[in-house]
Structure 1
Amino acid sequence: MTILTRRSLNRATLERQSLLRRADVPALDMIERLVGLQAQDPDPPYIGLWNRITTFRLDDLTRLLYRREVVRATLLRGTQHLVTAEDYLWLRPLLQPMLDRWQKGAFGRLTAGLDLTELAATARTDDHPLS
């Protein structure tokens, strides 16, 4: 069995995340490969994709957001990330216990009096991104 040096492990991690050399792949494929891009603020996902994709253009990600092929949601460490809509379908049930705990805590006070089921239904039927 080969034991990786710290440097080899570092290089393998950077390569897997397309940070050693930019890849020639569509933005959606890169987001799927990464299973999430940090998106606490609007700019980081654009910067992250620009650093990873040889032909990335601003409209590539904007178009994915408007088509709802990617979603911005609470994910890793309770912060906002972009993931493919397809990935979010399997991630959401895994995150639900954490979201339920938040709703019972301080966040619940902020949403007191709101019908969350109605709010979610409205968001699902709206014709443009809400984030």
Structure 2
Amino acid sequence: MIDPVDEEGNVPSWCTLTSATTPRAARTVATEAWRRAQHDFAQVVTPEDLRMLFVRRSEMTFRRFGLDHYMQTDIARGLLEISLGREAEGEARLRRFCERFDVDIEDRILRAAVSDARLRARENGFQ
């Protein structure tokens, strides 16, 4: 779900929570957030749909919470791209993550995830 401030340009009344928020108001926030999240979920049926969602979001301008604010973005997108046979793009994203967060590109857990993504690519007819 996109931050409502980035989507609407201001803080909409439905998403304001304070220490004085009533249970009813909290339910309104949860209901609206869920509705908007379902819209995002509905756009993704296949792994390629998810890749395209990453692409569209990476082209947006964010005021508060862009994709770069989430450390998992490059790992998730990189592994997804590898699983879709886009090895060079995926590895570049993983390298960017490793450089940004001082992680060894040869980390055994990361390499195991890459191996799994490559297996998915082969199973799906890529490579």
**Higher helix fraction (1 or 2):** 2
Same fold (TM over 0.5): no
The structure whose RCO (Cα within 8 Å, separation 6+) is larger is 1
TM-score by length of 2: 0.31
**Higher strand fraction (1 or 2):** 1
